[in-house]
Amino acid sequence: MHGRTWAALQETCYYPIDLLQKPGVIVITRVISGRREAARISVAPYLYETEEIERPDIPQANPSRGDLERDSRDQVLVGKVWTPKEGPAKFTLPLGAPVRPLPAGKAFGAKRVLNGKPAPQPHTGGDYATPAGSQVRAAAAGTVVVAEDLCFAGNAVFIDHGNGLVTMDFHFAQIAVAVGQEVTQGHALGEVGATGRSMGPHLIFGARCHGARVNPMFLLEAPDKIPSVNEPTAPAGRTGGTP
């Protein structure tokens, strides 16, 4: 897909559709015992919600030139994470909940207007209303590839789980892991806080699958709920998810 190749996960082929994928037809292939099969995924437009948010008087609400320069450096840092080696998967689906109890996630794909100014891109993670101090745990085994205070994400942890999957948690009060550390599912990563561009304590949990920004909801639920190419009534583009 898109010139990239990866191994099936538990004998299932997953094809991630990026949140910002333009409507159209994507050709996908799979190889079974040397036999190549092809199919097409039709990506349809989807109208995500728009949120108008008035943020308090924090630097990230009205970023200075210095803040923007810092964010540019952050993007260079995290940009190296999106093309991990397609190594063996260290995870199975569904992933473990990053916090427990896990509240309903919201705002994936939302177009945001921040203090009257449209955000440059839609929201690429899920918002989870969790109390300050709640333990955030690794959704699956993997390697910590970023553990740093970022301008807008605040204290953030990114984990490479193998097979092209990277999860990320934002706005920690404090981080309890370090870059290069191997973690297992359920490992404590830190505590929920309100660092970065945040109006109050909550967790943002996001995921990229083979470089595509996908709705983490699909990875936290039973795999049979993920839209399939064998279900033409569930267009892949409706949620920016993982068919």
The answer to the question of residue 5 being in a domain is no
Q: Is 167:206 a contact under the CB 8 Å cutoff? A: yes
The answer to the question of residue 34 being in a domain is no
The answer to the question of residue 242 being in a domain is no
Q: How far apart are CA 195 and CA 73, in angstroms?
A: 18
Per-residue pLDDT of the chain (243 residues; tens, 9 = 90+): 988 899 999 889 999 999 999 999 999 999 999 999 999 999 999 888 888 777 666 555 677 788 889 889 999 999 989 876 778 999 999 999 999 999 999 889 888 777 777 777 888 999 999 999 999 999 999 999 999 999 989 999 999 999 999 999 999 999 999 999 999 999 999 999 999 888 789 999 999 999 999 999 999 999 988 888 764 333 333 334 443
The answer to the question of residue 201 being in a domain is yes
Please count the structural domains in the chain. Answer: 1
Q: How many residues does the chain have?
A: 243
Q: Is 53:112 a contact under the CB 8 Å cutoff? A: yes
Q: How far apart are CA 107 and CA 126, in angstroms?
A: 6
The answer to the question of residue 182 being in a domain is yes
Query: 15: which 2 tokens?
Result: 């094809």
The answer to the question of residue 13 being in a domain is no
Domain holding 106, by residue range, is 48-221
Q: How far apart are CA 217 and CA 94, in angstroms?
A: 10
* CATH number of the CATH domain containing 166: 2.70.70.10
The answer to the question of residue 154 being in a domain is yes
pLDDT number for residue 234:
35
The answer to the question of residue 241 being in a domain is no
Of 107, 194, 105, 202, the closest CA to residue 154 belongs to: 194
pLDDT number for residue 58:
59
pLDDT number for residue 84:
65
